Structure 1
Amino acid sequence: MSTYLLVHGAWHSGPCWDRVVPLLESAGHRVFAPSLTGLGERKHLRGPEVGLDTHVDDVVGLITGEDLDEVVLVGHSYAGLVISSAANDVPDRVGHLVYLEAMVPEHGESAVDVMPVTQGVIDRAVNCEPGWLVPPLPELPPPAGLFGVTDPADAAWLRSMLSDQPVRCLQQPVRLDNPAVDAIPRTHIHCTVRPEGFPRRPVPATQPNGTPAQVWELATGHDAMVTAPDELAALLLKLG
């Protein structure tokens, strides 16, 4: 039995994994898919002080509170920053890092460093009331859709899980100064249906632990957990 900890991206919440969780559990694994502070059912906890460090504490607190080991730690999109700093804090408890359509940072980088287009999102938030909340990205015509979701029913379901996110999450830097985190193997899962204007940072040929990079692809949009749960679960099960 493996333990999977699925961390959602910006504006999302834990239930976005609801189509993936039962597939992993039915294969005999333990799965956690929490909502981060200030999002989803925890929206009432948001405030201008909530940032990346808050979300890292959420993940580390769950890992230590549940006494989890050899965790397959999956971060979607913005949560690539979250899982990186979380692994930096508890590298001995993380067995694998999975970057699903995720920002992959270096030490000291923020979301803007990894994906400069994020600065425009921050600027719009700062210049509007209340000045510290970033609304979800707008729905666009296909194939972009709502985070890559174009089916009307799926988009409506996803929309019910989205909420504004504190801007501090996109401004705080990642901590990756623990040498032990470099030993953790990594897998990158890239979705091939992408809108223009959101370039992906290339994955180096060699992982920090010295082994060749492992990059898998899914022929779907950004929110693969909504649009391709079976295919995504099949890839994750290879790591369990």
Structure 2
Amino acid sequence: MATYVLVPGGAHGGWCYQRVARILREAGHDVYTPTLTGVGERFHLLSDDIDLDFHIRDVIQVLRYEDLNDVILAGHSYGGMVITGVADLATERIGHLVYLDAATPVNGQSLADISPSQMAAARAKGDVVNGAEVVLQPGLEPIPNYGVTDPADITWMMSKLTPHPYKCFAQKLHLENEAELGQIPQTHIVCTSTLPHRDPALMAKARAEGRLWDIDTGHDLMITQPEAVAECLLRIPTA
């Protein structure tokens, strides 16, 4: 039995993993899908204090209070920033890192550094809620960027997406244990369309190790292709 912790990306909550989590649990595994503070069902906790470090602590507390070890820690999109920070500070609890069409930061990078044009466009349409600058406002416009086309899925998502605090995207990731972090195996599950835009050396290393899988779908691959994502995740404990 494996233990999975699945971290959502910007504007999403743990709800986005419902379909993937169901498949993993039916296969007999433990699955945790924490929602980060200030989004999803925790949007009522939004404040100007919430940044990348805050979200990293969110996940570390789940690992600590649930007594989780040898975890397969996966992050989608912005969640790649979070899981990298978590693995840096809680290395002893992480058995494997999985980047789900996610940011793959190096020390000193923010998501705004990695995706400057997308973050600038999002910030131009932002707002202020509870004293916090928020971006990725829910509405029809963001949906194409998530690659979701099924009308039922769009309706479902629209009822759950929330704005996201911009500080999370602007704050740079500061790593303290890069050597230990580098020893944790990594798997990359990416959308076929984003593969050409990713770090060639990182992708080549993952491919050579048999830890790169691409799925021909939109960015929210856990919603549009949950069976394919779950199939990849199920292969990790034996990879």
> TM-score by structure 1 length?
0.88
The reply on whether 1:235 has 2:207 as its aligned counterpart is no
The structural deviation recorded for 1:213 is 6.8
CA contact (8 A) 1:193 1:219 kept: yes
Q: 1:226 & 1:98 partners in 2: Cα distance? A: 17
1:129-168 → structure 2 map (5 Å cutoff):
129=128, 132-136=133-137, 139=140, 145=144, 147-168=146-167
The letter of the residue matching 2:192 is T
3-state SS of paired residue (1:11): coil
Tell whether the 8 Å contact from 2:122 to 2:136 is kept in structure 1 after alignment. Answer: no
- What residue number does 1:67 align with? 67
Residues 24 and 31 in structure 2, CA contact (< 8 A), matched pair in contact too = yes
Change (3 A) 1:165 1:52: same
CA contact (8 A) 1:203 1:213 kept: no
Partners of 1:17 and 1:225 within 8 A in 2? yes
CA distance in 2, matches of 1:90, 1:129: 33
> Which residue does the alignment assign to 2:222?
225
1:17 & 1:55 partners in 2: Cα distance? 18
- Contact 2:101–2:190 (CA under 8 A) maintained in structure 1: yes
Residues 150 and 107 (structure 1), Cα distance of their counterparts in 2 relative to 1, 3 Å cut: same
Q: Is the 8 A contact 1:139 1:147 kept in 2?
A: no
What pairs up with 1:70-219 in 2 under 5 angstroms? 70-121=70-121, 123-124=123-124, 128-129=127-128, 132-136=133-137, 139=140, 145=144, 147-178=146-177, 179-193=179-193, 199-204=197-202, 205-206=204-205, 212=209, 214-219=211-216
- SS of match in other structure, 1:234: helix
Q: 1:213 to 1:54 in 2, by over 3 A?
A: farther
Aligned pairs, number:
231
Alignment root-mean-square deviation, CA: 2.2
Which one has a larger percent helix, Structure 1 or Structure 2? 2
Whole-angstrom CA distance in 1 between matches of 2:114 and 2:198:
9
SS in 1 for 2:218: coil
Distance 1:158 1:108 in 2: 32
Deviations 1:118-146, CA, capped at 9 Å, x for gaps:
441464156x54571113476469xx725
Deviation at 1:150, TM superposition (A): 0.3
Alpha-carbon separation, structure 1, partners of 2:210 and 2:111 = 22
Distance 1:26 1:129, change over 3 A: closer
For 1:206, give the aligned amino acid.
K
Unpaired runs of 5+ residues, structure 2, are: none
Shift of residue 104, structure 1, vs aligned partner: 0.2
Q: Is the 8 A contact 1:76 1:102 kept in 2?
A: yes
Matched, 1:20 2:17: no
Q: What is the alpha-carbon distance in structure 2 between the residues aligned to residue 140 and residue 175 of structure 1?
A: 33
Report the TM-score, using the length of structure 2 for normalisation: 0.89
CA distance, structure 2, for counterparts of residue 7 and residue 79 of structure 1: 6
Identity of aligned residues (%): 41
- In the aligned structure 1, how far is the partner of 2:106 from the partner of 2:147? 26
Give 1:117 deviation, angstroms: 1.8
SS state at 1:75 partner? strand
Task: Kindly provide the amino acid, as one letter, of the partner of residue 90 in structure 2.
Answer: V
Counterpart amino acid of residue 48 in structure 1? D
Task: Give the 3-state SS of the residue equivalent to 1:153 in structure 2.
Answer: helix
User: Structure 1: where are the runs of 5+ without partners?
Assistant: none
Give secondary structure in 2 for the equivalent of 1:132: strand
In the aligned structure 1, how far is the partner of 2:230 from the partner of 2:187?
A: 14
